[in-house]
Each structure stands twice: as structure tokens, then as C-alpha cells.
Amino acid sequence: MYTNIRKFKEGGNYPEQQNGLPQAFFHNPKYEKLSPDARYLYMIFTMRMINSQTNGWVDSDGNMYIIYSNQELMNDMHCNSYTVSRLKKELVKHDLLLEENTPPGHANKLYPLRVTNSNK
């Protein structure tokens, strides 16, 4: 896990994210067992991140991240907290999400990670 962290950089060009759903999800065996709901959540995260470029959600290293509370996710996905937690863990397991803890009372920083075309 996290052997090669591939964060999105501000101002980068990411053709693999065209239309929100990376083609690697269909062609790379690494993502073969990724559930459709986790793929959908990844798409939600990356679309919010790309839209957040204008909001200034960029860390000091130039990496883009999003703020998306679990409550917001439950509302947007029409699911419970267990499902949100399970899907986020699934994305972490597949090296597609890095979650950075923040002080209590604040939503964590979420770094959607770039897909890879290799199955390593």
C-alpha cells in the first residue's frame, strides 16, 4: 500500500480522468476487484477535486486535495456511515485515496490518488 503515491498536482493535465471514470478501471487487473460503489466514490472525489482548483484546496507541496465530510458523503450517496467508511477503506486499499487527519471537529483532508496503468 502506498508504494508509489501519485497525488494530483495543481495545474496538471490528467487525461486518464477524462469524463471522470479512468479507463484503467476497466483494463488494469489491479482494479478488477474494486466495487462499482468504490469506483463511483472515486469519481465523486476526483470531480470535486478538479472543481476545487478554483477554491484553493492545494497543500504547500502543490498537491490537490478535497474536504468532504462523512455526513456530506452520506447525504450525497444516500447511504449510512458504515458504507462511507467501507468504501473509503476500499479506495485506500487500492492506492486510490490518502486520508490525512485534521484536528477534531474538522473534516479530514482527502487526497484522491491517480490511477496507474500498470498492475503493480
pTM: 0.81
Burial 56-95 (b: 16+ CB within 10 A, else e): ebbeeeebbbbebeeeebeeeeeeeeeebeebbebbeebb
Q: What is the pLDDT along the chain (120 residues), one digit of tens a residue?
A: 445 567 767 666 555 555 567 888 888 899 999 999 999 999 999 888 877 655 668 888 888 899 999 999 999 999 999 999 999 999 999 999 999 998 888 889 999 998 887 766
**Distance of alpha carbon 65 from alpha carbon 50, whole angstroms:** 9
- State residue 8's pLDDT score: 62
CATH for 35-112?
1.10.10
Q: What does the alpha-carbon distance between residue 114 and residue 5 come to, in Å, rounded to a whole number?
A: 8
Q: What is the structure's pLDDT at 17?
A: 55
CA angle 55, 40, 73 (to 5 degrees): 55
pLDDT, position 119: 65
Cβ atoms of 63 and 111 within 8 Å: the answer is yes
Q: What is the pLDDT of residue 33?
A: 93
